[in-house]
């Protein structure tokens, strides 16, 4: 008699095999490895990083399977994706809240940007009022210079001269 399939990691990940099957997808060894890797990941990670982490466990990992599964997991609310300052797709594992990102192009600093912060909420409300457009904060990426970099650049750089 065959052993029962590994249900995968516990916690928010425990019901994924059944949720995937409900979508007509199989609980394959590659999907199990991806979920195992994701369950040990905190915060943001790129798809290529996930492929490499999966290949450390299973060298036969196929990138297309990883990316297709990531799409399904996003639909299930297990992760969300956004785009970094360089345009690369990043995945946020188990996001507690929808958020965007600020990136400093000079020092490479990154900060999460909540739609609840007053300046962001005001900008979102302005787009809604002016254009009737509702912004998905999870796809909001703002690139600029942080206060520390601006201060170190001196007054001429701050004015663009």
- pLDDT at residue 156, rounded to an integer: 54
**pLDDT tier for residue 77 given thresholds of 50, 70 and 90:** confident
Q: What is the pLDDT of residues 90-138, one digit of tens each?
A: 898 877 777 888 889 999 898 988 888 888 889 989 999 999 999 888 7
Nearest to 99 by CA among 133, 127, 134, 137: 137
Determine the topology of domain 97-161 in CATH: Dna Ligase; domain 1 (3.30.1490)
Query: Chain-wide mean pLDDT for the chain?
Result: 84
The residues spanned by each domain of the chain are 1-96, 97-161
**Phi, psi dihedrals of residue 2, rounded to the nearest 5°:** -70, 145
Are the folds of 1-96 and 97-161 the same?
A: no
CATH number of 1-96: 1.10.10.10
| Single pTM value for the model | 0.69
- Measure the CA angle with vertex 122, ends 116 and 124; round to 5°: 80
Helical axes 63-75 vs 29-39, angle rounded to 10°: 60
């Amino acid at each position: 008699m065959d052993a029962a399939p590994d249900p995968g990691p516990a916690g928010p990940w425990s019901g994924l095999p059944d949720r995937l099957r409900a979508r007509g997808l199989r609980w394959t060894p590659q999907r199990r490895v991806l979920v195992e890797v994701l369950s040990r990941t905190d915060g943001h990670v790129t798809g290529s990083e996930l492929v490499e982490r999966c290949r450390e466990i299973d060298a036969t990992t196929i990138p297309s399977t990883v990316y297709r599964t990531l799409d399904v997991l996003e639909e299930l609310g297990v992760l969300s994706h956004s785009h970094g300052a360089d345009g690369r797709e990043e995945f946020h594992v188990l996001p507690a809240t929808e958020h965007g990102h600020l990136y400093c192009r000079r020092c490479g600093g990154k900060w999460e940007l909540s739609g609840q912060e007053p300046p962001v909420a005001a900008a979102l409300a302005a787009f809604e009022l002016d254009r009737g457009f509702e912004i998905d904060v999870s796809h909001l990426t703002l690139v600029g210079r942080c206060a520390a970099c601006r201060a170190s650049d001196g007054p001429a750089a701050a004015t663009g001269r």
